[in-house]
Amino acid sequence: MRDLLRWEDIASGETLMEQGQPQPPFIYVASGAARIDADASQVGSCGHGEFLGEMSLVSGQTATATVTATEPMRVARFDRDALAQLSRTVPEISKAIDAAINRGLAHKVRRSNETLAGHRSNGADEPNS
C-alpha cells in the first residue's frame, strides 16, 4: 500500500483540487484543515481523518468542488491508477477502501444535514416579510 501513496505537506492557501478538474486526486488528510467551495460559495470544510476526491473516484466524474487549505496540512495523495489495479487484484483492499469511503461520505452527509438544520432553526430559510 505504501507504494500507492505519496506524503505531501500543503501550505495554507494552496489549492488541492479545483471544481471541474478531471480525475482529481484521491487524498487522505492526516492533519490540518481545508475549505470546500462549490460555485464560489463555501459548502463545507474537512480535516484530520477525512478523504478528498472520493466522490470522483467512485463516480468517475470531475471534481464537484474546489478544496483550499486553510492551515498547513499533511496529506497522503494516492495514485488512482495503481489503487484501481490493486483493488481489482486484491478484493479485500477494494472492500476496505469502499468501507473507508462510505464512512467518510456518511460523516460528510451527517455534518451537512446538521448544518442545514442549524440554518433552519435560525430562520435562515424563512421567507422575508
- Tell me the pTM: 0.78
**HSE-up of residue 114 (Cα within 13 Å, Cβ side):** 7
Task: Determine the Cα–Cα distance for residues 42 and 15; give it in Å rounded to an integer.
Answer: 14
Mean pLDDT confidence for 43-50: 90
Structural domains of the chain in order of their starting residue, each with its CATH number: 2-121 (2.60.120.10)
More confident residue, 11 or 1: 11
Beta strand spans in the chain (E): 5-10, 15-17, 26-31, 33-38, 41-47, 51-52, 66-69, 73-78
Task: Determine the Cα–Cα distance for residues 83 and 33; give it in Å rounded to an integer.
Answer: 24
pLDDT digits (tens, 9 = 90+) for 5-42: 899 999 999 999 999 999 999 999 999 999 999 999 99
